[in-house]
Amino acid sequence: MPPVSNGRPKGGHEAENDDTQASKNPFTRYYAQLLHQQNMMQDNIRTGTYRNAFLTHKADFQDKVVLDVGTGTGILAFFAIQAGARKVYAVEASGMAKHAETLVKANGLEGRIMVVKKRVEEMELPEMVDIIVSEPIGFLLVHERMLETYLTARDKWLKQGGLMFPNAGDIVMVPFTDELLYNEQLGKTAFWSTSKDFYGVDLTSLQKDAQAEYFAQPVVGYFHPSCVLAPSAPVRHRVDFLCVTHADLQSFQVPFTFRAERTALMHGMGCWFDIEFAGSGAGGNTPVVLSTSPAAPGTHWYQCRLLLPEPIAVNRGQTVSGSMQFTANEHFSYDLLLTVRLDGTNIQCSTAIFLQDQSYHYLNHPVVTPVGDPQAAGIGALGGEGGNWAPAMNTTA
């Protein structure tokens, strides 16, 4: 997913047809470039898991008509054909559609993969489809708001009883401690707190406002499982793509309660997502899971950390509760409101975070944990394609 600044991707050329609605979406312009498609395609966890999910559920794809939403280069359409699909409608609103057509022709699949250069909201197909596939995922699952397009395709073109790959996604949250990260972010405001004579002007009165802006940025990067204060009980909020509504995604809340498993300063919430490919269950196949957990191999999505403006001292056994409110915004992303309470005390804080204004943090390397070896990371239990814990469950559906 692209790095963004002020709700817009960094870089990117204009897509074709600048007067279309699609070209007004900054992510459409971003994805019209092969170098950005390459970045995603070379994420072997992402690409390999999608292919594995399709091939694992070959019985579902055999002789079926498939719709690929946001096909990009067409890679998922090719995977659908490899899994046995009879026909694929590959929809792409950006200028990348011409490259998808080139690949379809070069691979001799003109009669089976039809590239449709339209927005999903505007396209017309000659038939309903058996399966919809897509990679509509952004940071923290919902950034970019492509899930809404996925749902539009479902509502208009999926047959009754049809399948979606992926069929669900989970937002996962844990409390974390990381004094180095907190001090690093706080240190970025030193310019304002120390500039009492900046060319004759005292700037220190703006330090608090500057701090609020820095701490409103989600920190995107890998973090080590050892940072987690409640590793055995993360909270998981499920979004079921088969039945969630557009209204559900406009505003939703994730409540949480954690019991600290060690004494430390809590600096905020660590977050990631998992997506699931369950298929129909035909042939006894188990769901394939793509996880971006800190206990799983790294992906281009990394993880997110949401910092509190002031850390909270938590003793082992104390309970931390609160909620995260998600509200869709005009930047193709979400405004977050994180509220945290230390139960049994009067300590409480709330902070606003803007998901589109990511700060990138590359000091840590991805944790590569062999599948089925949870103790190697010392956190939870792995399954499927990566971290697959057994936390408390909330549902958006």
Is 300 considered catalytic here? yes
CA distance 57 to 53: 6
Which is nearest to 229 in space by CA: 178, 161, 303? 178
Which residue among 60, 101, 130, 135 is the active-site one? 135
Label the pairing between strands 264-277 and 303-314.
antiparallel
**Phi, then psi, of 131 in degrees rounded to 5:** -140, 140
- How crowded is residue 87: how many other Cβ atoms within 10 Å of its Cβ? 19
Label the pairing between strands 359-360 and 219-221.
parallel
Is 18 considered catalytic here? no
In sequence order, which ranges of 96-163 are alpha helices (DSSP H)? 97-106, 147-157
Element (H, E) at 23: helix 21-24
SS3 36: helix
Strand residue runs (E) in 12-123: 65-69, 87-91, 113-116
According to DSSP, the residues that pair with 88 across neighbouring strands are: 66, 113
CA distance 286 to 280: 10
Tokens of 203: 């700037």
Distance (Å) of CA 245 to CA 151, 156, 240: 7, 13, 9
**Phi, then psi, of 30 in degrees rounded to 5:** -60, -45
Which residue among 60, 68, 92, 144 is the active-site one? 144
Which residue among 110, 179, 300, 365 is the active-site one? 300
Which is nearest to 91 in space by CA: 22, 34, 41, 160? 22
SS3 159: strand
The secondary structure of 219-274 as a DSSP string is EEE---GGGBS-TT--EEEEEETTT--HHHHHEEEEEEEEE-SS-EEEEEEEEEEE
Which residue among 43, 184, 248, 261 is the active-site one? 43
CA distance 258 to 174: 8
Looking at the annotation, which residues are catalytic?
Answer: 43, 135, 144, 300
